[in-house]
Structure 1
Amino acid sequence: MVEVFVTLFVIMDPVGTVPIFLSLTSGRSVDHARRAAWQAVTVSFFVIVVFAVFGQGILDYLSISLPALQCAGGLLLLLVALELLTGKDDQPLAANGGNVALVPLGTPLLAGPGAIVATMVFARRVDTFGDLDAVALGIVGVHLVLWLAMRFSLPILKLIRESGVMLVTRIAGLLLSAIAVQMVADAVRAFVEQ
């Protein structure tokens, strides 16, 4: 359980998610932000569980390699990062009635290619009910920490005010773009090594 929890904690990065969460939910009510935190964690949990159980079968059926999945996730994150860096408040997702809790927060930020691949690897190693319990508890535990981090980041929003949110948004955009570029670079490296 500890190995699963620590691995997913490092990959999903609850602390690093907070500035991105604050940026994507700024200008909305506290109730909306709380709902977004809950929805993002629920979506992430659902995606991780589906890929833990059916992941390899889904990728095999669609003839998708893990590097292709990773590259797609990186490109999607890069688009979101560019919107944060350029200061576009009228995000296409919000304008079209989209929900930022689903995309990009729930997936690919929380339940991204790294977390999906790690979960699939842990799921392959399950031989006993004890192993299954350890994987399940690790997944549930990291999602609980993710929810707590986003849920209790809202008082920070009141403290830093609008100018602080703008600064956090630009920093989050920069960090998110670096994560996205790294994901694409790792995918390209994996494609070359195949």
Structure 2
Amino acid sequence: MAEWALIFKTAIALFAIVNPIGVIPIFISATDGWPAKDRAHTANTVAITVFIVLTVSALLGESILEFFSISIPSFQVGGGILVMLIAISMMHGKQSTTRQTPEEAQETAERNVIAVVPLSIPLLAGPGAISSMIITAQQSGSFWGHISLALPIAVVCLAIWLALRLSMHIAQRLGTIGINVVTRLMGLILAAMAVEFIAHGISGLFPSLAS
């Protein structure tokens, strides 16, 4: 039961970080004038790329941290702060600059692989999502716990695929105000998750505070 609760919680947190609804206006703008077939192909590529990036982060992220001698509690605090910045930005109805700097936007605008950069990385599978998966993988403990994280990742990627495939219809239904409302609600949920990340990290760095 506890594992299913973790999977459900992970799916909610990851959905809030990735925010498929919030990326719809960017997707529409990036693929403006494209035929429906090319839009569909781009949506497929984005969903697959995000799945691969986040799954690799969940499975190998902790090993990468060990290679660089970074402790899990330190990463929890740093990742929590990063996620909190994204949440605050979302609650103000803004695209977070922790996902993409103006310089990166200018550089990637000249590239043809829009589906991978910037739609998949860093707009969807950005630092916040990657940090969240590494931290959650550490909390899951066992190898099978790591593997089980592929399920919430797959669910979120399915939501991304549906949102992008139906982007034109969703944008027409929600409008700018509707998309902003969804983004703010996701930001509020994300802020609560960030507080938990930071609290776990601080208790790990300073065990005496937890007693």
Q: Which amino acid aligns with 1:94?
A: A
Q: Distance in 2 between matches of 1:55 and 1:106?
A: 17
Q: Which amino acid aligns with 2:79?
A: L
Q: CA deviation at 1:106?
A: 0.8
- Out of 134, 152, 156, the position equivalent to 1:116 is 134
Q: Secondary structure of 1:111's match?
A: helix
Residues 1:192 and 1:109: Cα distance change in structure 2 (over 3 Å): closer
Q: Which residue of structure 2 aligns with residue 46 of structure 1?
A: 56
Q: Which residue of structure 2 aligns with residue 129 of structure 1?
A: none
Q: CA deviation at 1:76?
A: 4.6
When the two chains are superposed, the root-mean-square deviation of aligned CA atoms in Å is 3.7
Q: CA deviation at 1:120?
A: 0.6
Contact 1:55 1:120 in 2 (8 A): no
**TM-score, normalised with respect to structure 1:** 0.67
Q: CA deviation at 1:171?
A: 2.3
Residues 1:106 and 1:158: Cα distance change in structure 2 (over 3 Å): same
Q: Distance in 1 between matches of 2:42 and 2:121?
A: 13
Q: Distance in 2 between matches of 1:135 and 1:184?
A: 20
- Out of 16, 21, 24, the position equivalent to 2:23 is 21
Residues 1:48 and 1:190: Cα distance change in structure 2 (over 3 Å): closer
1:100-130 deviation line (CA, Å, top 9, x unaligned): 41124113453343x322211223xx2xxxx
Q: Distance in 2 between matches of 1:58 and 1:183?
A: 27
Residues 1:73 and 1:166: Cα distance change in structure 2 (over 3 Å): same
Residues 1:19 and 1:109: Cα distance change in structure 2 (over 3 Å): farther
Q: CA deviation at 1:145?
A: 1.6
Q: Which residue of structure 1 aligns with residue 209 of structure 2?
A: none
The percentage of aligned residue pairs carrying the same residue is: 10
Residues 1:9 and 1:184: Cα distance change in structure 2 (over 3 Å): closer
Q: Distance in 2 between matches of 1:110 and 1:188?
A: 15
- Out of 107, 111, 115, the position equivalent to 1:96 is 107
Q: Which residue of structure 2 aligns with residue 8 of structure 1?
A: 10
Aligned residue pairs: how many? 179
Q: Distance in 1 between matches of 2:90 and 2:119?
A: 10
Structure 2: give runs of 5+ residues left out of the alignment: 32-38, 109-116, 207-211
Structure 1: give runs of 5+ residues left out of the alignment: 127-131
Q: Distance in 1 between matches of 2:25 and 2:172?
A: 10
Q: Which residue of structure 1 aligns with residue 66 of structure 2?
A: 57
5 Å-filtered alignment, 1:68-147, equals 68-76=78-86, 78-79=88-89, 84=94, 92=102, 93-97=104-108, 99-113=118-132, 115-123=133-141, 126=142, 132-133=143-144, 135-136=146-147, 138-147=148-157
Moved over 6 A (4+): none
Contact 1:44 1:107 in 2 (8 A): no
1:34-74 deviation line (CA, Å, top 9, x unaligned): 322222222111211122x5166257x13634212211232
Q: Which amino acid aligns with 1:140?
A: A
**TM-score, normalised with respect to structure 2:** 0.63
Residues 1:173 and 1:13: Cα distance change in structure 2 (over 3 Å): closer
